[in-house]
Structure 1
Amino acid sequence: MSLKDEKVAALGFDEKGSDPISSLNFAELPDGELLAPDVRSSAEGQLVRMLDMRLLPTIILIFIMNYIDRLAVTSARLKGLEQDVGLTDIQYSTVLAILYASYIPANIPSNMILNRISRPSYYIAICVVLWGLTSALTGITRNYAGILIARVFVGLPEAAFYPGGVYLLSRWYTKKELSFRSAIFYAGLMISNAFGSLMAAGILSRMEGKLGIRAWRWLFYIEGSITIVIGILAVFILPDYPHNTRWLSPAQRRLAQARLAEDAGEADEDTETDSALQGLVMALKDPKVALFGVMICCLLLGTGFTNFFPTITGTLGFSSTVTLLLAAPPWIFATIVSCINAWHADRTGERYFHMCIPYWFIILGYTIAICTMSVPGRYFSMFLMAGGSAGHALTLVWLANAIPRPPAKRSAAIALANAGGNIGAMISSFVWKVEWSPKYHQSMFVGIAALVLGTSIATVIRVILANENKELERREVRDLTAGEEERVKEAARLEGITYEDAIVQRRGFRYLL
C-alpha cells in the first residue's frame, strides 16, 4: 500500500462525508507518489494553482514596472523633459530608440545564459534591480548625452525579462496552458500603460517643485525605486526550474517534469550535446525562427503607437493630467480582451486566428482615425488600437509551441525572434513624428502596411506547421535521433511508464496551428 493509500485508509471520511484525498498535503508525499492515477489530477491541479499564485503575479508585477520604467519618458515629455534637457524632436525619438540598441543584441546571450544557469530567480531579480536603479538615475540627467546613456543601461538588463519570462513559463506550463498564462503575463504590459498613466498623472500633478525638483524627475525617482524593491522580493518568490525549485517537494518536482514530458513526448531537458551554442545553431538553421522574427518585427512596427500613446491621446486637446487619465481606459479594455482571447486560444488549441484577428482590429482603428478628427471617433479608434495589441501576447507563445524541444533551441529561438522583432519597435520610434501631428496619417499608413505584411507572414507560418504535422503523421515510425531517444527515455522515467509507451505517446505530438 502506498503512503497515500495508508493516509486515506487511516483518515476515512470526515463527518461531512467529504473525500479526504482532496485534503491531503501533496507536498508531503515521496518522489513518484503523485503520478498515481487516483492522485495525479488533484496533485497537478494544486501544482498549477501554486504556480499561478506565485509565478504569475510576480512576473506580471515586474512587467508592469518594466514598461512603466521604459515609457516614463513619454509621460515626462508632457511635463517639460524636452525643454529641461534641451531635446529636439529627432533627439527625443533617438532617446526612445536607443534603448533598443542595447536591448536587442542582449536578448540572445541573456536567454542562452538563462537556459544554462540553475537559478533563474536570482538572474531575473538582479536584472530587475539593475534597470530599476538605472531608471531612477535617469531623473538626474541634465543633457542629451546623459539621458542617452541612462536609456542604454535601462535596455541592457531589461533584455533578460520578456523573452526570459516567456521561456520560464514554457518550462512550467503545458502547451494547452501556456497561451492563457502568457496572455496574463503580457497583460502586465497593458496594465502598465493604464496604471503607468494614472501613476504619472498623480506624480506629475502633485510633485512639481517639491524639494526644488521638477515633477518629471520625481517620476523617474519614484518609479525606479518601486522597481528595485520588487526586484529584491522576486528572489524569494520566483521559481527556478521544475527539477530544482526550492519551495516544491521532490514529489511535486517530479510531477512538474513528468507532465511536461507527457505534453511533448520528450523530457523538457537538454542532453549532454545540447549546449547553449548548439541550441543557438539549431535555432538559426530553423527557417521558422527567422519567419517569426520578421513577423514580430512587422507587428511591433505596426503597433508603434504604444510608445506614443500619451502623445496621441494629447491630440484630443485636453490638459496633461486629463490626457494621462484618458490614456488609461483603452488599456484596461485591452487587458480584458487579451485574457479572454488567450483563454479561448487555450480552450480550442488554435493560434493563428487568435493572434491575427486582434491585429486586423488595429487596422480598423487606424482607418477610423484616418477618416475623422472628432474626439469620440478618435477615442474609439484608440480602444480598437489598444485592444488589438492583445494579439502580441500569442506571438512568442506560438513560437514556443512551434519549437518545443530541446530547451536550448527553444530559449535561443525565443530570444532571436524577440530581438529581431524589436527592430520594428526601434524603427517605430521614428515613425510617429511631431510634424505629422495631430493627424498622424502617415504614421498610421505605415502601421497598416506593416500589420498586413506581418499577418501575411503568419499565414505562411501556419501553412508550414500544417505541412510539418502531415509529415509527422507520415513518419510516425521513423527512427529517433540520439538526442530524441535520450529525451524519450527520460520522459518514460519521469512518468513511470515503459519506453515503448513513451514512444507511442510521442507519436501523438502535433504543432498547434
Structure 2
Amino acid sequence: MAIDRTNVSGVLTSTFLSDTNMTRDQANTGVSLLWLGVVLLEIPSNIVLHRIGPHYWIPLQVVTWGLIEVLQSQVTNAGGWYVARLFLGLGESGFIPGGLYTLSRWYLPGELTQRTAIYFLGPSISAAFGSLISAGALSLHLEGGLKGWQCLIPATGILAFAIVPKSPHHTGHLFSGLIRVRGWLTEHEADILVARQARIAEKNQVPGLTLKITWKDITDVMLSWSTWPYLIVCLTGLQSVNGLSTWGATIIKSLGFSSIRANLLNAPGSLLGAVFGIVLSGFVDRYSRFGYAIIFAAVWTLAGLIALYVRFVFPSSPRASTSQLQTRRRGHSTRLMWGWQPINVTWLSLNFKTPQKRAVAYAVYIGCSNLGGTYGNQVFRASDAPLYHTAWIICISLGAIWLAGVILQTIVFQWANRVFARKLDENPELEKEVVRTDKRGRRYRFYW
C-alpha cells in the first residue's frame, strides 16, 4: 500500500508528465485526491472490520486496491490520473487503522508502541525501497513496449487471505480453515494471549466487549478534549515533511543527478527513520513517556528543515554548504523522525479504554494524517521552483507549531493527571477512568 503511494516520487522523475501532457500542479492534485479518498471511508471501514473481522476485511482491501493500481498503469491524461488516484485512495481507506486496531487486540499496552513502530516499517521501508524499485523500473524504459513509469505497479495481496488469522487460536488455519498447517502459536500460547487480554479488560473495568461500534463510541472520541491535541500535532508534524516524500527525488535531481541516481539517493533517509522509530518506541514502551520522545523528534526535524532552508534559499551564505552530499544528509535527517508517528497514534489509543473507542481513535487519527496529505504535497509548487523559498518557510512553520503543540500537550496531560489524582482520593468511583498504574502505585488518567 505504501509503495502505491510513494512510487509517485519516482514517477515524477521520469517522462510521466510529458507522456500524459500534465503539469506538476496537476500531478499534485492527483496525489491530493488519493489522500482525500483515504479519508472518506476511514471510520466506516473500521466499523465494517470490527463486525466481520480483519481476517476477511483486510485481505479484501488489499485485493481491491491492487486491481485499481494495475488499472492505473493505463492513465493517459489528467482526468484519468484524478480518477485513478481517488479510487485508489478509497480502496486503501481504513487499512492502516484496521491493522493498528488488530494489533491492540493482540498485545498489552506496554508492548504496543514498539510493535506499532514495527507495523509502520511498511510505510518507512517502502519509502526507501520504493525509490530503489523506481530506479530499477525506470531503467526498463521502453522495454517490452512499456515506459519506465508504467512498470511501477506492486503485486496484489491475495496471500493475505491465507495468513491473516481469525484469532490467536487460528494461526494454522490458512484461507479461513480450508488448509490446516501447524500454527505459529500453540493452543497453550493462544490461551495465554487471550487470558492476558481478558485480565486487562477486567482490570480496566471494561464492560461488555461487544463487536458493535455505536454512535456514542464515535462521539466520545470525537468530542473528547484530549483527542484534538493529537490531531493538531499530526496535521503539523507529518505535513512539515510530507512534501519531501513526493518531491524529494525531484529536488535531488535538481542538484544535477540523473533520474535513477536521484531515486537511489532518496532511499536511505526513510530506511534509517524506520530503524530509529523502533529504537525510540522501545524507550517509550519501557518508560511510558510518549511526549518526551515526540519532542525529541520534533526538535531534530525542525533543525533539519532550517538547514535545508539555508542551503537552498541562501546558497551563497557562509553558513550554507555548497556540498550536495551535505544537502542530502540534511534531507535524510528530516526523514529520520518519521518514526514518531507510531508513538503518537499509540499514545492516543491508550488513553481510551474500550476496543470500540480505540478502533474509532485509530480511524480518526489516520484519517487526520491522510487529510493532511491533501495539502502537504501541495507545498512544493512549480511556481516556487527551484529554490522553493515559500515551501521551506511553510515546512519550518509547521514544524514549529508541531513542537509547540506537543510540548503544550505534555504539560497539560501532566497537570490533568495531578487534578485527577486529587479527585480520585475524594471519589473512588473514578477508579474506572484509570488508564495506567505505575510501579509506585500512582494512578493516571492520561499517558504522557
Counterpart pick for 1:379 among 328, 331, 338? 328
Relative to structure 1, the CA distance from residue 238 to residue 422 in structure 2 (aligned partners, 3 Å threshold; closer, same or farther) is: same
1:105 aligns with: 40
Q: Which whole-Å CA distance do the structure 1 matches of 2:271 and 2:8 have between them?
A: 21
Deviation at 1:270, TM superposition (A): 4.7
Distance 1:448 1:508 in 2: 38
Q: Distance in 2 between matches of 1:270 and 1:384?
A: 46
1:199 to 133, 145, 148: 133
Structure-1 separation of matches of 2:60 and 2:257:
40
Q: 1:296 aligned to 2:202?
A: no
Kept after mapping to 2: 8 A contact 1:112/1:276:
no
Pairing 1:75–2:1 present: no
Counterpart residue number, 1:210: 143
1:171 aligns with 2:119: no
Q: Is the 8 A contact 2:101 2:362 kept in 1?
A: yes
Out of 15, 18, 23, which is 1:88 matched to? 23
Equivalent in 301, 311, 316 of residue 362 of structure 1:
301
Q: Which of 51, 67, 88 matches 1:133?
A: 67
Shift of 1:331: 2.0
- For 1:423, the equivalent position in structure 2 comes to 371
Q: Which residue of 1 aligns with 2:249?
A: 310
Number of the residue aligned with 2:180: none
Name whichever structure is richer in helix by fraction. Answer: 1
Structure 2 counterpart of 1:82, which letter?
L
One-letter amino acid of the structure 2 residue matched with residue 445 of structure 1: I
User: For the Cα contact (< 8 Å) 2:295–2:407, is it kept in 1?
Assistant: no
Q: In 2, are the aligned partners of 1:242 and 1:253 still within 8 Å (CA)?
A: yes
Taking structure 1 as reference, are residues 250 and 282 closer, same or farther at Cα in structure 2, changes over 3 Å only?
farther
Equivalence for 2:267:
328
Question: Do the aligned partners of residues 377 and 144 (structure 1) sit closer, same or farther apart at CA in structure 2, a change above 3 Å counting?
Answer: same
Pick one of 224, 244, 260 that aligns with 1:286.
224
Out of 270, 274, 280, the residue aligned to residue 341 of structure 1 is 280
Could you tell which deviates more after superposition, 436-445 or 89-98?
436-445
* Compared CA separation, residues 96 and 387, structure 1 to 2 (3 A): same
Q: Which residue identity lines up with residue 367 of structure 2 in the other structure?
A: A
The letter of the residue matching 1:76 is V
1:150-165 aligned within 5 A: 150-165=84-99
Alpha-carbon distance in structure 1 between the residues aligned to 2:168 and 2:229: 30
User: Among 162, 182, 185, which residue is 1:236 paired with?
Assistant: 162
Say if 2:238 and 2:369, in contact at 8 Å, map to a contact too. Answer: yes
Rounded Cα–Cα distance in structure 2 between residues aligned with 1:186 and 1:69? 15
1:427 Cα deviation after fit: 0.8
Indicate if the aligned counterparts of 1:266 and 1:506 stay in contact, CA closer than 8 A: no
- Provide the C-alpha distance between the structure 2 equivalents of 1:480 and 1:116, rounded to a whole number of angstroms: 31
- Three-state SS of the structure 2 residue aligned to 1:376 is helix
Query: Is the aligned partner of 1:462 residue 2:410?
Result: yes
1:268/1:135 CA distance change after superposition, 3 Å: farther
CA deviation after TM superposition for structure 1 residue 234, in Å: 1.6
Question: Are the equivalent residues in 2 in contact too, given 1:74–1:307 (CA < 8 A)?
Answer: yes
How big is the alpha-carbon RMSD for the aligned residues of Structure 1 and Structure 2? 2.8
Q: Which amino acid aligns with 2:148?
A: A
Q: TM-score, normalised by structure 1?
A: 0.76
**8 Å contact kept, 2:50–2:212:** no
CA 268–114 in structure 1, closer or farther in 2 if over 3 Å, else same: farther
| Pairwise CA distance, 1:332 | 2.2
The secondary structure found in structure 2 opposite 1:79 is: coil
- Tell me if structure 1 keeps the 8 A contact 2:351–2:445: no
Deviation at 1:187, TM superposition (A): 2.1
Q: 1:506 to 1:252 in 2, by over 3 A?
A: farther
**Unmatched 5+ residue regions in structure 1?**
1-65, 489-501
1:392 is paired with a residue whose SS is: helix
Alignment length (residue pairs): 420
Code of the residue aligned with 1:388 in structure 2: it is M
**Identity level (%):** 27
Asked if 1 retains the 8 angstrom alpha-carbon contact of 2:94 and 2:363, the reply is: no
Checking the alignment, whether the CA contact within 8 Å between 2:131 and 2:267 is kept in structure 1 is yes
Q: Does 1:478 align with 2:419?
A: no
> Which whole-Å CA distance do the structure 2 matches of 1:238 and 1:368 have between them?
44
Of 176, 179, 184, which residue of structure 1 is paired with 2:118?
184
Q: Which residue is equivalent to 2:289?
A: 350
Query: SS at the partner of 2:428?
Result: coil
1:260–1:268 CA contact under 8 A, matched in 2 = no
Matched residue of 1:372: which SS? helix
C-alpha distance in 1, partners of 2:101/2:211?
A: 20
Query: CA offset at residue 302 of structure 1?
Result: 0.9
Distance 1:402 1:461, change over 3 A: farther
Provide the rounded CA distance (Å) in 2 between the counterparts of 1:91 and 1:214. 20
Q: Residues 435 and 174 of structure 1: is their aligned pair in 2 closer, same or farther, counting only changes over 3 Å?
A: same
After superposing the two structures, state which structure 1 stretch, 238-247 or 295-304, moved more.
Answer: 238-247
Question: Separation in 1 of the partners of 2:218 and 2:305?
Answer: 38
Q: 1:266 to 1:381 in 2, by over 3 A?
A: same
Unmatched runs of 5 consecutive residues or more in structure 2: 174-182, 313-321
AA paired with 1:187? Answer: L
* Distance 1:471-1:176 versus aligned 2 partners, 3 A rule: same
The alpha-carbon distance between structure 1 residues 508 and 201, as it changes in their structure 2 partners (threshold 3 A), is same
